[in-house]
Amino acid sequence: MARARPIPGVDAPAATDLPVLKPVRFDPPGDAAGLSFSRFVAGLPWWSLPALMAAIVLWPVAAHAQSVYTMGDATAALLRWMPYLLTDGFLFNILISVFTMLAGTAAGALLGLMQVSPASMIRKPAWLVTQALRNSPWLVLLFIVMLAFPFEISIGSLTIPVPDWMKAVFGLSMPIAGNISEVVRGAIQSVPSGQWEASESLAFTRRQTMWRIILPQCFRRMIPPWMNWYAILTMATPLVSILGVEEIVTLSRQAMAAENSRPELLVPFYGFCLIVFFIYCYPIARWTMALERRMAVKL
């Protein structure tokens, strides 16, 4: 039986002329860049690693069961190349990621601080640069740096060669700088305005407030998103193989070519790359999420 008068919110759309507080999704402070990557990696089940290994081992069997090239041959080839891929290849990926993170963090911290400057002459250009860097395709930035930069720098009679990997570090550090800039800005702006007012009323200058009061408080909040970006960056380092820098993917391709480019090798070799990256990034992702949880409780 239909009601004589519908009840708003029950059998009729809710309506009121009073102000309504709508539910909001609260993004935790300092999470300007989001932790979706670390959240995904940290959420992978434990068996994803053995599953990946099984795929590598079983692929040659499944794909070319009739072929004379056996699973054993493919695995033997991989084992032969493995030390070389790790020491000459992956170590280089880590090296590139570490240098890139250092350079990107330094530049990003500077940009982030400029973004909260009270002077619009500083703030606006910093905002523009930040947005340009974080919204450009990484590969395009890499190409620009690789092609626009000289392969050697001459100062008088002194000629300093600029190796490819150094240019790669510079190219990759640009998007990192843009994203770290946003992390820094977000963390600074998440500190309650009362901290600024209290410092101001105690005669602190803006600079003293920033270094003594605000930054020490947001440093902790910046760590999880910073680590998240480090993991993303590490995953992105094979990009530089396109530009000929010798890292794990470049060396894998060369190794497969040396093994007569048999198609059975594709999954074992690239699968091995995936496993190596996973083993390196998974603990970082877990650690990031653990830190994030601990700080969420603390705040």
Partner 1 sequence: MAQQWTPDQPIVSIKDVHKAFGDLEVLKGVSFDVMKGEVICIIGPSGSGKSTLIRCINALNDIQSGSITVEGQEVHVPDLDKLALRKKVGMVFQQYNLFPHKTALQNVMMAPLVVLKQPKDEVEARARALLKKVRLEGKEDSYPGELSGGQQQRVAIARSLAMNPDVMLFDEVTAALDPETVKEVLVTIKELAAEGMTCILVTHEMGFAREVADHVYFTDRGVIVEHGPPSSFFTEATDPRTREFLSQIL
Binding region for partner 1 (CB under 8 A) = 192, 194-195, 197-198, 200-205, 208, 212-213, 216-217
Give min distance, CB of 124 to partner 1, in A.
Answer: 23
Give min distance, CB of 196 to partner 1, in A.
Answer: 9
Nearer to partner 1, 202 or 257 (CB): 202
Give min distance, CB of 195 to partner 1, in A.
Answer: 6
Give min distance, CB of 201 to partner 1, in A.
Answer: 4
Q: Which two tokens stand for residue 104?
A: 């990107």
Nearer to partner 1, 136 or 189 (CB): 189
Nearer to partner 1, 80 or 293 (CB): 293
Give min distance, CB of 206 to partner 1, in A.
Answer: 10
Give min distance, CB of 224 to partner 1, in A.
Answer: 17
Give kind and range of the element (H or E) at residue 126: helix 120-134
Q: Residues 69, 78: contact at Cβ < 8 Å?
A: no
Q: How far apart are CA 92 and CA 95, in angstroms?
A: 5
Give min distance, CB of 198 to partner 1, in A.
Answer: 4
**Dihedral angle computed from the Cα positions of residues 57, 58, 62 and 65, in that order, rounded to the nearest 10 degrees:** 60
DSSP strand E in 84-212: where?
152-155, 158-161
C-alpha pair distances (Å), 23 with each of 9, 20, 31, 100, 164: 16, 10, 20, 40, 51
Q: What residues are paired with 152 via a beta bridge?
A: 161
Q: Residues 273, 16: contact at Cβ < 8 Å?
A: no
Any idea what the Cα angle at residue 177 is, between residues 278 and 215, rounded to 5°?
A: 100
Nearer to partner 1, 93 or 209 (CB): 209
Nearer to partner 1, 135 or 201 (CB): 201
Q: Residues 228, 186: contact at Cβ < 8 Å?
A: no
Nearer to partner 1, 28 or 150 (CB): 28
Q: How far apart are CA 264 and CA 62, in angstroms?
A: 10
Q: What residues are paired with 12 via a beta bridge?
A: 8
Q: Of 210, 223, 227, 277, which is closest to residue 249 (Cα–Cα)?
A: 277
Nearer to partner 1, 127 or 196 (CB): 196
Give min distance, CB of 291 to partner 1, in A.
Answer: 17
Nearer to partner 1, 131 or 208 (CB): 208
